[in-house]
């Protein structure tokens, strides 16, 4: 707090007293502000940059993802503060939580393992797809340096498509796809970036599968397939992540809970009225899901058909 105050150019005591006077009044006035929660999510947030070197201060947001309500913010992005916050809620409150959503974070996973052992943990879809995009960008930058010997410049083929690569395939028009494939052919002599691009799209297709059992089989075989030594190291890294987080990834198909404020809904089992469901279109059932990546590389990118 003192570092933040210095950055704002004011006295720490002024900031601290204002926070206490305003914040405690709100908390005292609403002691029952946190009701029962069935789906709880945690996610890290960059709180501030302080000091001469703009050091990052992180916080952890604790959210009722079923209702889309922020419950509290605790300092840091480790496990100790969230664990202490959960411990303060009491066993009766904790026992009502059925789903626990998280990014691909080992500290948060440990918190849920310890404090919510009976809750089903769900890996947030956004963070898995974000990881796939980051690995794709890593591959692009590596191939760029290996082929041209320098960082990307505006005239380099791979640099010119850096944004198209991470764009969702269904959002590419004919002109964009033609540009993407043409510049991949020009700047990706071994096809490593193209392979990683296809891997990213196949990972995205996990969330088009509507059947949890099929999703389980698909992710299991895909994780093994992606670790083939013939693939770039970034693709193999994605395969290891899928293997390590497989149960958490597949759990989304059963709980449909996410950390996203616009997607904070839960699909209730056997519910006739599914107006609150996060709709995704079904993918064609594959006879051999394990070969999905290799076939996909030959057939071209997946067409994601999301209802408007």
Assess whether 162 and 59 both reside in one domain.
no
pTM, 2 dp: 0.74
The confidence score (pLDDT) of residue 160 equals: 96
The confidence score (pLDDT) of residue 3 equals: 54
Assigned domain for 208 exists: yes
For residue 74, pLDDT over 70 is answered with: yes
Assess whether 107 and 171 both reside in one domain.
no
Assigned domain for 68 exists: yes
- Structure tokens that stand for 149 in this block: 């010997």
Assigned domain for 181 exists: yes
Assess whether 64 and 92 both reside in one domain.
yes
Assigned domain for 304 exists: no
Neighbour count for residue 3 (Cβ, 10 Å): 14
Quick one: pLDDT band at residue 258, thresholds 50, 70, 90? Answer: confident
Average pLDDT over residues 108-121: 95
Assess whether 107 and 175 both reside in one domain.
no
Assess whether 29 and 41 both reside in one domain.
no
Assigned domain for 305 exists: no
Please provide the average confidence, as pLDDT, over all residues in the chain: 80
Assigned domain for 21 exists: yes
For residue 200, pLDDT over 90 is answered with: yes
The confidence score (pLDDT) of residue 292 equals: 44
The confidence score (pLDDT) of residue 1 equals: 52
The confidence score (pLDDT) of residue 70 equals: 86
Count structural domains, the chain: 3
For residue 255, pLDDT over 50 is answered with: yes
**Final residue before a domain boundary, out of 100, 122, 144:** 122
User: Which residues lie closer than 8 Å to 53 by C-beta, 6 or more apart?
Assistant: none
Assess whether 158 and 138 both reside in one domain.
yes
High-pLDDT (> 70) share of the chain, %: 73
The confidence score (pLDDT) of residue 69 equals: 86
Give pLDDT tens digits for 122-147: 999 999 999 999 999 999 999 999 99
Assess whether 57 and 79 both reside in one domain.
yes
For residue 82, pLDDT over 70 is answered with: yes
Assigned domain for 190 exists: yes
Assess whether 94 and 132 both reside in one domain.
no
Assess whether 153 and 294 both reside in one domain.
yes
Assigned domain for 107 exists: yes
How far is the C-alpha of 19 from the C-alpha of 266, rounded, in Å?
35
Weakest mean pLDDT among 2-16, 23-37, 86-100, 229-243: 2-16
Distances (CA, A) of 27 to 24, 94, 190, 226: 5, 21, 59, 49
Assess whether 107 and 132 both reside in one domain.
no
Q: Which residue has the tokens 């599968």?
A: 209
Q: Which residue range forms the structural domain that includes residue 23?
A: 1-33
The DSSP bridge pattern shows strands 99-102 and 39-50 to be: parallel
Assess whether 83 and 153 both reside in one domain.
no
Length, in residues, of the chain: 308
For residue 31, pLDDT over 80 is answered with: no
CATH of residue 39: 3.30.420.10
Strand partners, 123: 102
Assess whether 93 and 135 both reside in one domain.
no
Weakest mean pLDDT among 132-136, 170-174, 227-231, 299-303: 299-303
For residue 104, pLDDT over 60 is answered with: yes
């Amino acid at each position: 707090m003192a570092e933040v105050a210095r950055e704002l150019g004011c006295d720490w005591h002024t900031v601290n007293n204002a926070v206490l006077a305003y914040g405690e009044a709100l908390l005292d006035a609403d002691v029952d502000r946190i009701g029962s929660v069935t789906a709880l999510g945690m996610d890290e947030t960059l709180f501030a940059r302080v000091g001469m070197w703009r050091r990052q201060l992180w916080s952890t947001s604790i959210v009722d993802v079923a209702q889309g309500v922020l419950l509290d913010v605790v300092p840091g992005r480790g496990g100790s503060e969230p664990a202490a916050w959960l411990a303060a809620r009491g066993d009766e409150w904790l026992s009502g939580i059925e789903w626990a959503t998280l990014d691909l974070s080992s500290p948060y996973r440990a918190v849920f393992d310890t404090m919510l052992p009976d809750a089903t943990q769900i890996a947030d879809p956004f963070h898995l797809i974000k990881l796939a995009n980051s690995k794709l960008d890593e591959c692009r930058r590596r191939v760029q340096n290996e082929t041209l010997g320098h960082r990307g410049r505006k005239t380099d083929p791979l640099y010119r498509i850096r944004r198209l690569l991470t764009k969702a395939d269904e959002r590419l028009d004919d002109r964009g796809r033609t540009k993407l494939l043409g510049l991949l052919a020009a700047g990706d002599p071994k096809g490593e970036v193209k392979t990683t691009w296809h891997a990213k799209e196949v990972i995205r297709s996990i969330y088009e599968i509507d059947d949890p059992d099929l999703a389980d089989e698909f992710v299991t075989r895909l994780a093994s397939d992606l670790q083939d030594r013939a693939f770039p190291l970034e693709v193999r890294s994605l395969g290891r992540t899928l293997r390590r987080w497989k149960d958490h990834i597949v759990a989304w198909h059963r709980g449909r809970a996410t950390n996203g404020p616009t997607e904070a809904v839960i699909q209730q089992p056997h519910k006739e009225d599914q107006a609150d469901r996060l709709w995704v279109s079904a993918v064609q059932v594959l006879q051999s899901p394990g070969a999905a990546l290799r076939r996909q590389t030959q057939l071209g990118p997946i067409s994601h058909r999301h209802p408007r």
